[in-house]
Amino acid sequence: MIEQAAALAGRSCPLRYRYGPQAIAAAPQRAADKLYVIGGLYGNLPALDAIEQMAAREAGPVTLCFNGDFNWFNVDDAGFRALNQRVLQHEAIAGNVEAELAADGDAAGCGCAYPDHVDAAVVERSNRIHARLKATAQCHADLTARLGSLPLFARYDVGDCRVAVVHGDAESLAGWRFGVDDIDKPDHAEWLQRAFEDAQVDVFASTHTCEPVLKRLLVKGSCAAVINNGAAGMPNAGGKYPGLITRIGLAPSPHPVAYGTQIAGVFVDALPVACDQERWTRMFLANWPEQSDAHVSYFSRIEG
């Protein structure tokens, strides 16, 4: 029984993660002229500096929504506190990392719900990374309580474009169906159509799978899109892009655009996040030296 529970940790999707597109349709709508969706910051404070500076250079206010996994490598007390205090000044939803920091017990491990094709060693390292982060979080009960109260999704109106911000997919906080490996599977096409129809949105903005995706499709004759920013705090697409965030705005982006589209007259773009990479590498190595779990799993990607 113990071995079976250990095998499920990091691969299972807890029932408390599930919501479904009908719940998204019933969610309150918030208005925004410019929306930054920031997924997978992973504790990268220099990237957060860069994102806040990008928002400050926009004409007019910007709504920042952190859609989960803004914690990960920030296992030091100062880094954990600094990042969460800043993120929680903005709008945020939970990722699996945050959901499991506030959870009783460790049955779900990191909460990633990794699919079968992910190597068991990767899953085990992720569970150990999360356990170390959770030990830090337990020393910051005020922040952990706030993380535990975060919603699982959010809904915005940017002009005429209806946006669902999720961490995973339309069904679950840890769903993988908006990932690059699943988004174009023929047997997912009908599910994807229903997800848009039932959620009553034009755009799903997600993260979780750690790889960027932009997929356009027609839903009842109208253009819709899934945009997954991959990771705001790590390089993407084999180093082709640095960290990426999603920007959804009435006006074009004043910043360089990696790729994008227009939906319902609104600009939906992935923006590169050019942070102080040397500073970030030093901060990472201070917590995760060579041969540590995070170094083995992520350092080659962080080097870009």
- Residue 1 banded pLDDT, cuts 50, 70, 90: very low
d(CA 150, CA 88): 10
Q: Please write the tens of the pLDDT for every residue from 109-163.
A: 898 999 888 999 999 999 999 999 999 999 999 999 999 999 999 999 999 999 9
Question: What single-letter DSSP state applies at residue 298?
Answer: H
Please tell me the predicted confidence (pLDDT) of residue 226: 98
pLDDT of residue 109: 84
Q: What is the pLDDT of residue 5?
A: 41
Percent helix, strand and coil across the chain, each to the nearest 5: 35, 25, 40
Residue 292: the pLDDT is 98
Give the pLDDT of residue 162: 98
For β-strands 243-249 and 34-38, DSSP reports them as antiparallel
250 CB burial (10 A radius; 0-12, 13-18, 19+): middle
What CA–CA distance (Å, rounded) separates 228 from 148?
24
Under 8 Å between Cβ of 43 and 234: no
- Please tell me the predicted confidence (pLDDT) of residue 8: 62
12-33 confidence digits (pLDDT tens): 778 899 999 999 999 999 999 9
Task: Sort residue 6 into left (φ over 0), alpha (ψ -120 to 50) or beta.
Answer: alpha
- pLDDT of res. 213: 97
* Sign of the CA dihedral running 211, 166, 71, 270: positive
The predicted model scores a pTM of 0.95
What is the tens place of the pLDDT at every residue in 202-243? Answer: 999 999 999 999 999 999 999 999 999 999 999 998 888 899
Q: What distance in Å separates the CA atoms of residue 106 and residue 67, rounded to the nearest whole number?
A: 22
pLDDT confidence of residue 62? 98
Sign of the torsion angle spanned by Cα atoms 104, 107, 110, 112 = negative
- Residue 249 in tokens: 């705005």
> What are the tens digits of pLDDT across the range 37-87?
999 999 999 999 999 999 999 999 999 999 999 999 999 999 999 999 999
- How much of the chain, in percent, has pLDDT values that exceed 70? 97
Mean pLDDT of 281-297: 98
Residue 220 CA from chain centroid, whole number: 28
Taken in order 33, 69, 87, 211, the sign of the CA dihedral is negative
Average pLDDT over every residue of 256-264: 97
